[in-house]
Amino acid sequence: MLVGKLMLKNPIKIYEDEIVTQVAERMQNYNFARFPVLDRDEMPVGILKRKYLEMESGDSDVTVKDIMRRVSDEEVIREFEEAYTIFNRAGEMFFVVDEKGRFKSILRKRHVMKMYFERLEYTESNLRGVIECVDTAVFSVNRLGRIVFINNFARELLGINGDKIEGMVIGELIPDVDIMEGIDSGVDEFNRNFDFNGRRLVLSRYVARSDGKAIGAICSLRDITRYNEITDELALEKTEKEVLKSVFNTAYDGLIVVDAKGYITMISDAYKSFLGVENENVVGRHVTEIIENTRLHKVAETGVPEVADLQKIKGDYIVASRIPVFKNGKVASVVGKIMFRNIDEFEKLYKKIGKIEQQLENYKDELSKINKAKYNFGDIVGRSNEMKRAVNLAKKAAYTNSNVLILGESGTGKELFAHSIHNSSARRNKPFIKVNCAAIPDDLMESELFGYEQGAFTGAKKGGRIGKFEVADQGTIFLDEIGDMPMHMQAKLLRVIQEREVERIGSNKTIKIDVRIIAATNRNIERLIEEKRFRMDLYYRLNVVTIEIPSLRERIDDIDLLCRDFLEKYRVRYYKKVDSISESAIAKLKKYPWPGNVRELENIVERAINILDTETVIKPKHLPSDVSGVFDIEDVKPLKDVLNETEIRTIVQCLEVVSFNKSRAARLLGVSRAAFYEKLDKYKIKVVNKTIHIGD
Ligand SMILES: Nc1ncnc2c1ncn2[C@@H]1O[C@H](COP(=O)(O)OP(=O)(O)OP(=O)(O)O)[C@@H](O)[C@H]1O
């Protein structure tokens, strides 16, 4: 502050030659202790104390000069000097003079001090405000390391609060760092990193001095924990950007990125060379300058993606996709991609996809044919009461959703019933899945029925596999030979029936399923339960409806009907002229005990039709000798042939029973797999599409 600003506006002046009594009278109304005295050239000459004025009352010729004290040089100050310079001078009142030394006014030390103090106060409060506002922790300590001032940011960072912080020793708050170290040498210190309560802080210390001596320190602390994290993130982002850049440039197809206004920000080398601008710097140019018929800038405006759009560039059609990229709800950029450089390539691919789709449809058709039930109740031949009862019960069961258990000897038509029930039920248009429990090795049964996830076990197929229950969803699953199901699988099956959900092997997700179960067995299931080889609880779940199919022995009268049916079936199949079966042949058939039931009868009729030559009526001689009991001289065959025929028949029957599972057939026949294959080869027995062919 300059003196001129702080001096009195209207100073009182007394001249040295004035008569004291007159001056005393004039000064009566002014309550000042001292008055400035000037000569008549307006130059300061002395200081007159009021006390002296009052003491001189009667003498009329005493002048001011006689009683004043002479002014010293120290008491004179120029108007453009700094006012604080008076603090080091003696005296309370100072003469302010112009550059020629002429009196301008007076300056009182008290007044100047007050002004400076107010200004200091103002500055300090401003400073505190600023320090509170900065997002840096700031605190100051005295020489002893006690906190003098600390801003809120620092309190927060150091995790301290309360009024008593000022005065605390900083070394107790931050024990790991000696903030006062080297303070006496007056050295400032910058960016000392240290860890504090799991955060990374940076300390800077400025030494506060007075008269060249350290009197304390002002410190700032910055938390760079997040900064360090950001640095790491940035490094990662940089790597990702590099990867993106190289992907961009190695992509076979053309790639381009434009900003929200359509200016190119990235373009792949492949696209540049396609456009013939490989040697130009096109980044930063508007896309319309570089690409013919482009719509990238339009997509930037509309924000609507365009996929597989035809675009003509240099006379060629290309297929382009334009995908907008949004940031905060606005288009930030658009990525353009030429999917195929030439429409011919696209067409080729399109045709290829078309072919694959067609194949897929064919496979789907095949699959639904495989998963379809073939037979209906109309295919079940039988007039006997037992049979009629079984069919009626099956028809009633078809209308419900209940599980069905079909019991009957081998070849009695259990599968035929299962198909018919499904085809008459509301599920008829949904899958019918047959599982032969006897033909699946124990260790594969779970994956076969419930499927597995990719990587569930060594050898598991990529992508996993769907189980039969899932395939049968909404439809029917036919569990044939249920009596052969291993105990551990019975427990799992029971859970599926109760929970109505399956869990693939290797998965912890359950899949809801809606499947009707029809189970069948030719085994005496009650005995299996007694022998603890079949779970009673599962049995009760399955036999909600039990259909018992009579053996052929029990319905001998149906033999005529069945024979007529099979005759018709194989006559058509083999293009043979066959009229009928003779009464005597029927009589023979009715006497036979039929261990193989209807399947055996069907095989015998088929065989008979095959061996008919010119005759058109099947006679006893066309039946196997164990059926006909007829043994003519013509029937006598070399033992070798008989053995061969028996082997062929046994192998064929066995294969049929085990649903053509060769390993199981070999096991049942008690021969090694290799020996079984030799036999198949010897007799030229082949299994094609679940049908047995004998001969070349
Ligand atoms: N009542 C019937 N009417 C017409 N054909 C029948 C009849 N019963 C069985 N068949 C025929 O007999 C053959 C065997 O029938 P199916 O496979 O249904 O018997 P299955 O009891 O399931 O035998 P397995 O217990 O050996 O599996 C089939 O070709 C089937 O068409």
> Which residue has its alpha carbon closest to ligand 1 atom 9?
413
Considering only the top CATH level, what class is 553-631? Answer: mainly alpha
Ligand 1 mean position to 52 CA, how many Å?
150
State whether the beta carbon of 436 lies less than 6 angstroms from ligand 1: no
Q: 657 CB under 6 A from ligand 1?
A: yes
Protein residue with its CA nearest to atom 16 in ligand 1: 413
pLDDT tens digits, one per residue of 313-369: 777 777 888 888 888 888 889 998 886 555 566 667 667 777 777 777 777 666 766
381 lines ligand 1 (CB under 6 A): yes
**What is the tens place of the pLDDT at every residue in 182-216?**
888 888 888 888 888 888 888 899 998 888 888 89
**Ligand 1 neighbourhood includes 414 CB (under 6 angstroms):** yes
602 CA → ligand 1 middle, Å? 9
Residue numbers of the chain with a pLDDT score lower than 70: 57-60, 246, 249-252, 339-347, 349-350, 364-366, 368-369, 459-460, 630-635
- Residue 408 Cβ inside 6 Å of ligand 1? The answer reads yes
661 lines ligand 1 (CB under 6 A): no
- Architecture of the domain whose range is 3-115: Roll (3.10)
Nearest to 423 by CA among 466, 475, 482, 354: 475
ipTM: 0.96
Residue nearest to atom 18 of ligand 1 (CA): 413
CA of 409 to the centre of ligand 1 (A): 10
Distance separating alpha carbons of residues 400 and 412, to the nearest angstrom: 24
599 alpha carbon – ligand 1 mean position (Å): 6
* Cβ within 8 Å of residue 369, ≥6 positions away: none
Cα dist from 483 to 524, 552, 571, 661, 671, whole Å: 8, 21, 36, 18, 24
- At the fourth CATH level, the homologous superfamily of domain 228-345 is PAS domain (3.30.450.20)
Query: Which of 556, 598, 601, 602 is the pocket-test mutation for ligand 1 (most atoms within 8 Å of CB)?
Result: 598
Q: How far is the CA of 417 from the centre of ligand 1 (A)?
A: 8
pLDDT of residue 29: 85
Cα 400 to ligand 1 centre (Å): 23
As a whole number of angstroms, the distance between CA 476 and CA 418 comes to 9
Q: State whether the beta carbon of 656 lies less than 6 angstroms from ligand 1.
A: no
Q: For residue 657, give the ligand 1 atom closest to its CA.
A: 26
For ligand 1, whether the C-beta of 412 sits within 6 Å is yes
Instruction: Please provide the DSSP assignment of 241-300 as one string.
Output: HHHHHHHHHH-SSEEEEEETTSBEEEE-HHHHHHHT-TTS--TTSBHHHHSTT--HHHHH
Instruction: Report which protein residue has its CA nearest ligand 1's atom 13.
Output: 599
- Please indicate whether residue 410, judged by its CB atom, sits closer than 6 Å to ligand 1: yes
Q: Looking at residue 58, what is its pLDDT?
A: 66
Ligand 1 neighbour 603 (Cβ under 6 A): no
Question: Which residue out of 377, 599, 661 has the highest number of ligand 1 atoms within 8 Å of its CB and is therefore the one to mutate?
Answer: 599
379, 384, 416, best to mutate for ligand 1 pocket (most atoms within 8 Å of CB): 416
CATH class belonging to 377-548: alpha beta
pLDDT number for residue 346: 60
111 three-class SS: helix
Instruction: Let me know: does 332 contact 303? Beta carbons within 8 Å.
Output: no
Q: How many angstroms does the Cα of residue 279 sit away from the middle of ligand 1?
A: 80
CATH 3.30.450.20 domain position(s) in the chain: 134-223, 228-345
Is the beta carbon of 599 within 6 A of some atom in ligand 1? yes
CATH 3.40.50.300 domain residues, the chain: 377-548
Q: Where in the chain is the domain with CATH 3.10.580.10?
A: 3-115
Residue span(s) of the chain under CATH 1.10.8.60 come to: 553-631
Distance 157 CA to ligand 1 centre (A): 86
User: Whole-angstrom Cα distance, residue 88 to residue 64?
Assistant: 29
Look at the domain 638-696 and name its fold: Arc Repressor Mutant, subunit A (1.10.10)
Q: How far is the CA of 414 from the centre of ligand 1 (A)?
A: 6
Long-range interactions of 113-122: CB distance < 8 A, separation 24+ = 113/87, 115/1, 115/6, 115/83, 116/1, 116/83, 116/84, 119/1
CATH number of 134-223: 3.30.450.20
Point out which residues pair with 511 in neighbouring strands. 502
The ligand 1 atom nearest the CA atom of 417: 18
Alpha carbon 98 to its chain's center: 84
Q: Is the CB of 380 under 6 A from ligand 1?
A: yes
Q: How many residues does the chain have?
A: 696
Give the residue whose CA is nearest to atom 23 of ligand 1. 411
